[in-house]
Structure 1
Amino acid sequence: MTEAAAEALQLFAWLSPGYPVGAYAYSHGLEAAVEAGDVTGEDSLRAWLSDVCEHGSLRNDLILVAHAHAAAGMACADDLADLNNLALALAPSRELHLETSQQGRSFLDATVGAWPCPALLDLASMLTGPVAYPVAVGAAAGAHGMAIGPVLAAYALAFVQNLVSAALRSAPVGQAAGTRVVAALTPGLVSLAQAALTAGLDDIGSACLRLDLGSFRHETQYSRIFRS
């Protein structure tokens, strides 16, 4: 097996639904959008996800992954800690803060346990509290010397696939429709990943205010199955 193939399998494992980060428990505001009537089927799900990817948290996450990867590759623990503080501060609600910090902490702990390397162990010793998920993924990938391009693309696809999975459980969307949504969004994910390669931290920003407000309302939503 070539080194590139081994790296790809490692990355697939990290971002698979079976990795112990609890991604299945979060909908990133999608459940609130279903409750509000913003997502009612395939077309509205595709539009909602497109906005979240292009104008919301996925774009920000990809920029954070790229910067965490660079900091880890240069063993800049202080820069990584500052980046993590920024990433956590970007969460607009309690639930979305929990979503990123719980998954980030779980990801880092699981990866240190299963795929330890000296660089990752050193960085993990500096990140002892809450860890934002994109920072954890970027830092682990950088510590292992993974190429950043595939990491960004895989992260983006995993993000969309997890939310489509949430839609299958909370919205009137079937598996065939969900697959079409993933296929329709994939070309845009490639563009977002490419743009994140050269984006600076000043490029971070979000315009998905309805999602943010929905995440506040979800905290007291009467019937719900997700933690966000």
Structure 2
Amino acid sequence: MAWLSPAFPVGGFSYSAGMESAVVEGHVGDGDGVEAWLGVLLAHGGLRNDAILLAEAHRVQGEGQSLEEIISLATALASSAERHAETTRLGEAFVKAAAAWPHPVIDVLVGPVPYGVAVGAVAAAHGVDRVDAIAAFLHAQISQYVSVAIRLGVIGQTRGVSILAASEAPILDAASSYARLDLDDLGSATIIADTLSMRHEIQYSRLFQS
């Protein structure tokens, strides 16, 4: 929980994963829109893929295998330049901060390391259960995007809390399900979200880096 709390210095507050463009272009305009958007990402989009990659990194580290291939694959799967920058910068910052919990895996996770892979490998190295790691990771991501929506003025804090409450059961179900998946299950059906992440790169006025 410490690793995935808002106080952990990864800089997640500066990224929106394309949600800013979704708001600017009218795809998300109220609390129901935010809740639906996050639900789609969790079930069919980037959050699902990140969780699968986390699960694979957890398995690989737990079995004492090399993390090189999963790091390369996860990096290559970034759907846009901003998405690549977001996931690798968060990953590098996570590894740097997680070094406060000494373990040889820290020396392996050097250079651009996608966030989910870093979390999965470090969690496995310290004996954190895979399902628990995925659930905490997904909750942290959903919380971050709710914060994005609040800062963009789409929702208030009360509606944000209700979205977090409504997300608890889907997150727990997703964590249990995604922990059993492997790389053959990677894929998404969120073309609009992926495209908006690319469009954000040339957006005229921006609060967030992605």
Q: Give the aligned partner of residue 5 of structure 1.
A: none
Give the CA RMSD over aligned residues: 1.0
Using the alignment, how far apart are the partners of 2:199 and 2:22 within structure 1? 10
Q: How does 1:95-106 map to 2 (within 5 A)?
A: 95-106=82-93
Task: Verify the 8 A CA contact 2:95 2:109 in the aligned structure 1.
Answer: no
Q: How does 1:49-64 map to 2 (within 5 A)?
A: 49-64=38-53
Amino-acid identity (%): 44
Q: Give the aligned partner of residue 146 of structure 2.
A: 164
Q: Is residue 185 of structure 1 aligned with residue 171 of structure 2?
A: no
Using the alignment, how far apart are the partners of 2:6 and 2:70 within structure 1? 26
Q: Once the 2 structures are TM-superposed, how far is the Cα of residue 156 of structure 1 from its aligned partner?
A: 1.0
Q: Is residue 89 of structure 1 aligned with residue 89 of structure 2?
A: no
Equivalent position amino acid for 1:165 in 2? S
Q: Give the aligned partner of residue 221 of structure 1.
A: 203
Q: Give the aligned partner of residue 16 of structure 1.
A: 5
Q: Which runs of 4+ in 1 moved over 6 A?
A: none
Using the alignment, how far apart are the partners of 1:225 and 1:184 within structure 2? 27
Unaligned runs of 5+ in 1: 1-11
Aligned length: 210
Task: Verify the 8 A CA contact 2:21 2:197 in the aligned structure 1.
Answer: yes
Using the alignment, how far apart are the partners of 2:90 and 2:27 within structure 1? 26
Q: How does 1:70-149 map to 2 (within 5 A)?
A: 70-77=59-66, 80-112=67-99, 114-117=100-103, 121=104, 123-149=105-131
Q: Once the 2 structures are TM-superposed, how far is the Cα of residue 124 of structure 1 from its aligned partner?
A: 3.1
Q: Give the aligned partner of residue 182 of structure 2.
A: 200
Compare the two structures and name the one with the higher helix fraction.
1
Q: Once the 2 structures are TM-superposed, how far is the Cα of residue 180 of structure 1 from its aligned partner?
A: 0.9
Task: Verify the 8 A CA contact 2:135 2:175 in the aligned structure 1.
Answer: yes
Task: Verify the 8 A CA contact 1:22 1:103 in the aligned structure 2.
Answer: yes
Q: Is residue 42 of structure 1 aligned with residue 25 of structure 2?
A: no
